[in-house]
Amino acid sequence: MFFLNKPCLKLLLFLAFLSNYVYGKTLLGDNPHFLLYSKEKDLWSQQALNYRNQIIKENKIEHPKNELEWMSSNFTCRMCMMFDSEFIRQGTDEYLIDSLLAEGEKEFGGYDSIVLWHAYPRLGIDERNQFDMYCQMPGGLEGLRKVVEKCHKKNVAVFINYNPWDIGTRRENKNDYQALAGIVYEIKADGVFLDTLSAADKDLRNELDKVWPGIALVSEGHLDFPQLNFCSGSWAQWLDEPQEPGILKLKCVQPTHIQYQIRRWDIDRSDEIATAFFNASGMLIWENVFGTYNPWNITDRQSWKKANQILHYFNFEFTQHFDPYYPSAQKDLYITHWSTEGRDIFILRNEGKIIKDQHLFDIEHRPDLLYFNAWTGEEFKPRNSVSTTEIYGSVDKICCIAIIHKSRLDDELYDFLKSMKFAETKVDTRNFCKSTVYADKVKTTKRLDIKDKPEGMVFVPGANFTMKIEHIRGECGCYPDNDKSFEGFNFGLPFGAVYPDIIHKNIKHKIGPMKIKQFFIDETEVTNAQYKKFIDSTGYKPKYLENFLLHWPNGKMPDEIADYPVIFINIDDARAYAQWAGKRLATEEEWQLAAQGLDGRKWPWGNEFDYGKCNTTGRLMPAKSYPNGKSIYGCYNMSGNVWEWTESCRDDGHTRFTMIRGGSYFDAKGSIWYVKGGPQPCNSHAKFIRIWPALDRCSTVGFRCVVDAK
């Protein structure tokens, strides 16, 4: 750099800068998300500095308030589906936050924060809104506050989620921002994740500031620069990744801003890890993707564990003097450099073949320095010449070299280096997902002679039946059929798919032909009067009473709803009734055969939709309404009125779900992200993710039963 002191060369460089520099372009490139690599480091650095200063000036970007600086070291964020078996013991009110955090420490080096994800993809099945989905978790908001308190004791921050598109469900008596701030206050949350948004507005920021200072906002989308004054973090997803490693623009402009790398459907996360580490930025650990389990492999977990520990130990350096694209001695090796007095940290990213004991880079020779491979925790000796120190080493994908002045050595440094020497294992003993090809086995009932048709039931002859299903793919996935070409239907998206276009397109299942034995099925959904007889006869009382028969004031059935379908019962409540009645729930294939017959009709009454043959009123109707819409075998309301439970329960070890059929009277409007409601065709189903009994009891879900016949 000595030549820059010569006036003539300084002038030439300045003129070159003026002639080439166009706002955001020239050596920096025109990528919307990254500053691009250039071999002309000195000129590139000057352009980058001018670019940063101009962006800050034009957009009036301020340094984050002190109370929000905690976000600058919030490197590892865990996306936590609140229905996941790692968070809640299935079917109970027990939170498992202690074991979840311990797992994070063991596998990833610890979480800095978790996102308590709530409503999507369940929103739209009934009228409940996103805030209800928090309030009705076990223990209500007080129960969630205890979860947050446990996180805080482990120095883990907690985000809640905001779905701005939720406009078609029950409305609060306050605006969304006030409702959101209220939940933040009640559970003592630290921040809010802004689903689908690339910006926050002043009203939201002001509303949260009324609660207390320091509540962080994190957007899902990439921010425009002015938003750096509102959002302390953002997701680095769907970015235009350059061919050569780039420098994140938002991180360059605001060093304390955290961008969380995330490619939710990738199996190999090594590129995500490399980009996050190279930029000293963050990572979103997301394995349960809205009900589809896509686990991190063991190699990636161990890599991020190392990166995570380095990012935390040298966190102060990673917000200070930033020197991108430090000169490298290897063709495909890229280096970023951070420094404070007595500490120089170099992050190395290898885009070529594995480097073994090769010359990596040089530094100016200085006395009293010690050299460490922070990735392995080992001290090493460099090779010195008269004025230059040559750094040699090995790099697989990423590495970190720390050069420390003797005056900065302490026990904490050596403890950190010791922690980096953990043994890597090749045997992955972590629990991955179980198959969901087959539903839980169903026990048959006592078989009744076809001549002894029970009252209120209709006969469905046995048949060789092929169940064909077609529905919007969505993000929560489905289950695969037995045809190998449909294996990917175990997942919300085929891995490697272009996102998000594919999620709004249809998928098709074809299961069969299969032999279905003859059976009787209820001609209507089970009514309140019928369920009352069961209650009166057995005294049935579920372990968890929350929302059980919520439409019965004080547990008493109003006479005027006797002939309406019973609602606010979960699948276990439905099974209890069926067992008492000597019946069971229908399997999916039985339900579809009863609704559709063998001619493949789309609707129970035929192939054309008819508003007069199903419930499109937006309110619940009696069980025997719309007789003109009966199925070929005589079943009422198999499209619309209420969704119906089926015996199709599956559990992949993380998500329990059941397929529900028929649609309901309720159809949330205003967003493509809702579960599609209203009357549904015979050949459609919806994946109902089970959370816990209170939330699984809905105003729009009932059931009907079957009895096996002979």
Q: Taking Cα atoms as reference points, which of 562, 572, 508 lies closest to residue 540?
A: 572
Where residue 4 falls among pLDDT bands split at 50, 70, 90?
Answer: very low
Which of 308, 249, 289, 274 has the alpha carbon at shortest distance from 76? 308
Q: Is 457 within 8 Å of 521 (Cβ atoms)?
A: yes
Does 111 fall in a domain? yes
Residues 461 and 364 placed together within one structural domain of the fold: no
In this prediction, residues 520-541 reach a mean pLDDT of 99
- Please report which confidence band the pLDDT of residue 251 belongs to, taking 50, 70 and 90 as the band edges: very high
The sheet carrying 457-460 orders its strands as 457-460, 519-522, 705-708, 584-585
CA–CA distance, 53 with 60 (Å, rounded to integer): 10
* Residue 407 sits in the same domain as residue 492: no
Residue showing tokens 């050595």:
409
Q: What pLDDT, on the 0 to 100 scale, is given for residue 238?
A: 86
What does the pLDDT average to over 118-146?
98
Residues 123-147: what's their mean pLDDT? 98
Flag whether pLDDT at 368 surpasses 50: yes
Q: What is the pLDDT of residues 149-199, one digit of tens each?
A: 999 999 999 999 999 999 999 999 999 999 999 999 999 999 999 999 999
Q: Are 246 and 34 in contact (CB under 8 A)?
A: yes
Q: Given this model, what pLDDT does residue 561 score?
A: 99
Helices (H), 202-256: 202-211, 249-253
One domain, residues 605 and 498: yes
Residues 175 and 136 reside in one and the same domain: yes
Whether residue 615 sits in one domain with residue 496:
yes
- Nearest Cα residue to 492 out of 167, 76, 81, 78: 81
- 466 in any annotated domain: yes
CATH number at residue 324: 2.60.40.1180
Q: Could you tell me if 246 and 135 lie in one domain?
A: yes
Out of 255, 282, 309, a domain closes at 282
Distance CA 52, CA 257 (A): 14
The number of CA neighbours under 13 Å toward the Cβ of 627 is 1
Is 575 part of any domain? yes
* Count of residues making up the chain: 710
Under the banding of pLDDT at 50, 70 and 90, the label for residue 11 is very low
Judged by average pLDDT, the poorest of 134-143, 437-446, 646-655 is 437-446
| Mean pLDDT, range 537-564, rounded to an integer | 98
Q: How many Cβ atoms sit within 10 Å of the Cβ of residue 7?
A: 8
Q: How far is CA 90 from CA 84, 476, 701, in A?
A: 8, 18, 20
Q: Token pair 């039946």 is at which residue?
A: 465
pLDDT on residue 387: 85
Q: Which long-range contacts (CB under 8 A, 24 or more apart) does 406-411 make?
A: 406/368, 406/369, 406/370, 407/342, 407/368, 408/342, 408/343, 409/370
**Domain boundary residue, one of 411, 427, 443:** 427
Exposed e or buried b per residue across 589-606, where buried means at least 16 C-beta atoms within 10 angstroms of its C-beta:
bbbbbbbbbeeebbbbbe
What is residue 501's predicted lDDT score, i.e. its pLDDT? 67
Q: What would the DSSP string read from start to end of 418-472?
A: HHTTPPP-S---S--PPP-SSPPP----PPBPTTSPPTTEEEE--EEEEEEEEEE
Average pLDDT across the chain, whole number: 92
Tens of pLDDT, residues 578-597: 999 999 999 999 999 999 99
Find out whether 334 and 244 touch, Cβ atoms under 8 Å.
yes
What's the rounded mean pLDDT across residues 471-488?
A: 64
Question: Residue 654 maps to which CATH number?
Answer: 3.90.1580.10
* Residue 61 included in any domain: no
The percentage of residues in the chain with a pLDDT greater than 90, rounded to a whole number, is: 83
pLDDT band at 477 (very low <50, low <70, confident <90, very high): confident
Q: Where among 248, 282, 316 does a domain terminate?
A: 282
The verdict on 547 and 575 lying in the same domain is yes
pLDDT at position 494 is 53
Residues 98 and 162 grouped into a single domain: yes
Mean pLDDT of 459-477: 91
Domain presence at residue 4: no
Verify that 310 and 386 share a domain, yes or no: yes
Backbone φ, ψ for residue 266 (5° rounding): -70, 145
pTM of the model: 0.92
Residues 6 or more apart whose Cβ sits within 8 Å of residue 225: 55, 58, 59, 61, 250, 253
β-pairing verdict for 216-219 and 233-236: parallel
Note whether residue 470 is domain-resident: yes
CA 259 to chain centre: 16
Whether the Cβ atoms of residue 706 and residue 583 lie closer than 8 Å to each other: yes
DSSP character at residue 477? -
Residue 184: inside a domain: yes
What is the domain extent for residue 318? 298-427
Q: Are residues 277 and 302 in the same domain?
A: no
pLDDT digits (tens, 9 = 90+) for 401-412: 999 999 999 999
Report residue 423's pLDDT band, with 50, 70 and 90 as the boundaries. confident
What is the percentage of the chain residues whose pLDDT exceeds 70? 93
| Structural domain contains residue 432 | no
CATH code of 176's domain: 3.20.20
In sequence order, which ranges of 89-174 are alpha helices (DSSP H)?
Answer: 97-108, 130-135, 140-153
Q: Within this chain, do residues 461 and 544 fall inside the same structural domain, yes or no? A: yes
Q: How many domains is the chain partitioned into structurally?
A: 3
Q: Provide CB contacts within 8 A for 294, sequence distance 6+.
A: 264, 265, 267, 286, 287, 288, 491, 495
Do 218 and 330 sit in the same domain of this protein? no
